[in-house]
């Protein structure tokens, strides 16, 4: 199970997660990690698009803790239905939403985390991972940094696949 932050503009308009530019990158990283999109359940911690209107454009606005709390029951329902063995938080907001404020993206990414408190609905032995959100890869300031973040995202997804018994992708970096 991959959990992003919130829908973006394209996702909000289509009504499905990760169908915009970040979704295109995520799909490629999933394939490069040796997984198939059909093996991965993709959702968001916050179910609505927070935005600021600027002329004709709706610009992303980071969700607040109230948004995360308000949407948590729906996310827990999804977890109960899917019963994932591996939950990957894509980005810092999703990580805090899923695993609490003690999990830090830059410190904890790339490492399997056991939950201090199991998430209701997940498999009892569910492993937690955090990695970069595909949108962060796209927003990186240089092509070198974008390539570095994409490689880390792909490596983390391959690790998730191996932990779930699904991936034949690259080894962790």
Asked, for residue 116, whether it belongs to a domain, the answer is yes
Could you list the residue range(s) of the whole structural domain that residue 113 is in?
Answer: 2-163
Q: Which two tokens stand for residue 171?
A: 């080894």
Residue 173: predicted pLDDT: 45
Asked, for residue 170, whether it belongs to a domain, the answer is no
Asked, for residue 135, whether it belongs to a domain, the answer is yes
Q: How far apart are CA 102 and CA 152, in angstroms?
A: 21
Asked, for residue 137, whether it belongs to a domain, the answer is yes
Looking at the structure of the chain, the number of domains it has is: 1
Residue 171: predicted pLDDT: 47
Q: Which two tokens stand for residue 88?
A: 């990957």
Q: How far apart are CA 130 and CA 137, in angstroms?
A: 14
42 and 2 in contact (C-beta within 8 Å)? yes
Asked, for residue 173, whether it belongs to a domain, the answer is no
Residue 13: predicted pLDDT: 85
Asked, for residue 171, whether it belongs to a domain, the answer is no
* CATH code of 119's domain: 3.40.470.10
Asked, for residue 96, whether it belongs to a domain, the answer is yes
Asked, for residue 94, whether it belongs to a domain, the answer is yes
Residue 43: predicted pLDDT: 96
84 and 123 in contact (C-beta within 8 Å)? yes
User: ∠ at Cα 34 (157, 154), nearest 5°?
Assistant: 35
Residue 114: predicted pLDDT: 67
Q: What is the pLDDT along the chain (173 residues), one digit of tens a residue?
A: 999 999 888 888 888 999 999 999 999 999 999 999 999 999 999 998 876 888 988 787 788 888 988 998 999 999 999 999 899 999 998 998 888 888 899 999 999 886 655 576 677 678 899 999 999 999 999 999 999 999 999 999 999 999 998 755 554 44
């Amino acid at each position: 199970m991959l959990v992003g932050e919130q829908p973006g503009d394209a996702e909000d308009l289509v009504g499905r997660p990760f169908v915009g530019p970040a979704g295109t990158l995520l799909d490629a990283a999933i394939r490069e990690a040796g997984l198939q999109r059909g093996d991965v359940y993709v959702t968001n911690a916050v179910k609505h698009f927070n935005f600021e209107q600027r002329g004709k454009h709706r610009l992303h606005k980071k969700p607040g803790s109230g948004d995360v709390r308000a949407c948590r029951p729906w996310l827990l329902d999804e977890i109960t239905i899917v019963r994932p063995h591996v939950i990957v938080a894509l980005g810092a907001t999703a990580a805090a939403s899923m695993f609490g404020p003690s999990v830090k993206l830059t410190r904890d990414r790339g490492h399997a985390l056991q939950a201090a408190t199991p998430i209701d609905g997940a498999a009892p032995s569910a492993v937690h991972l955090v990695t970069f959100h595909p949108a962060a890869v796209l927003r990186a300031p240089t092509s070198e940094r974008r390539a570095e973040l994409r490689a880390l995202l792909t490596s983390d997804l391959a690790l998730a696949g191996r932990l779930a018994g699904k991936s034949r992708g690259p080894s962790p970096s």
